[in-house]
A and B are shown apart, each in its own frame.
Chain A
Amino acid sequence: MSTAEAAPGEQRNGSAPRPRAGARWPGHVPGEPGVWVFILGDMTVFALLFGVFVYYRGKQPLLFDHSQGDLHRYFGAINTLLLLTSSLAVITGVRAVRAGYRRLAPAAIAAAMACGAVFLINKGLEWSALLSHGHKPATNNFFMYFFVLTGIHAFHLILGMGVLTTLFILSRKPTLTPGQRAFVEGGACFWHMVDLLWIVLFALLYLMH
């Protein structure tokens, strides 16, 4: 794939130069429209969960604040930095695929996967520390929401790791079909969704008081 080759769904306009290395032309839907139905639907479900959490926090603010004090906030902060870094790696990988950098693309995706793996290890350590101190989902409403929300998010992250594995394999191919290129973009957007959902969860679960 050369840098002069237009991505699927993109319209080359005469001899207009590509504005940024690996960037897309304006007016292009990343991935496929169906992917966005899924992503926006998932984001809406999470928005409802965010609202429910804040509503019930308002009913028991002291309990929520006290329970939050038992969290190890470093885990939340480090995991936020990890996912932001993984997102940078993924967009770098997508742009490298478009620009034809066949060594950079898989390396960037692999770096994102490494960040995701460390996130899951951190999450496991955090959960074990909480459980060993007697903080279970049944302990109170805060910990119920904490384990449910972080559990659903971790499930999405594990799905995202599967998507990144496919992106890694595709990024090593010398050429991609239009469908494969759309999958790379859509899969990347799914990973970024996992990142942005965590940004809100970090604010709600670890910082709100």
Chain B
Amino acid sequence: MTALLKSRVSLVWLGLIIATLISWRIGTDHGVHAHLATTIVLLVAFVKVRFVGLYFMELRDAPLPLRGIFEGYCLVVCTTLIVLYLA
């Protein structure tokens, strides 16, 4: 049971919490250039989404097509949102 609780997903959770706090700091700090701050916030958000998919949904062990669709979703949606934002 200890091995289960001390698994890699716990480390991923810690990383996601830290990423949330960092993006919150960047997103609410108006001293940072708005376009740069928002682009970083969106990138961090989709990196977090990818980690939720790979480690919590366990897609890193899934067949490649399913994992590929998910990773493609992260890439396409993140890129589209950043382009729409900067346009």
Residues of A within 8 A of B (CB): 20-30, 36, 40, 43-44, 47, 50-51, 54-55, 57-58, 73, 77, 80-81, 84-85, 87-88, 90-92, 95-96, 99, 101, 104, 185, 188-189, 192-193, 195-196, 199-200, 202-204, 206-209
Name the one of B10, B34, B38, B49 contacting A196, with C-beta atoms under 8 angstroms.
B49
Residue of chain B at shortest CB distance from A55: B84
Chain A, interface SS category: helix
* Contact assessment for B57 and A58 in the assembled complex, using a CB-CB cutoff below 8 Å: no
A192 contacts across to B, CB distance below 8 A:
52-53, 56-57
* Contact assessment for A40 and B73 in the assembled complex, using a CB-CB cutoff below 8 Å: yes
Residues of B within 8 A of A (CB): 1, 3-5, 7-10, 13, 16-17, 20-21, 23-24, 26-28, 30, 34, 37-38, 41-42, 44-46, 48-49, 52-53, 55-59, 61-63, 66, 69-70, 73, 77, 80-81, 84-85, 87
Residue of chain B at shortest CB distance from A209: B34
B45 contacts across to A, CB distance below 8 A:
199-200, 202-203
Distance to closest chain A CB from B51 (angstroms): 9
Name the one of B4, B21, B38, B49 contacting A104, with C-beta atoms under 8 angstroms.
B4
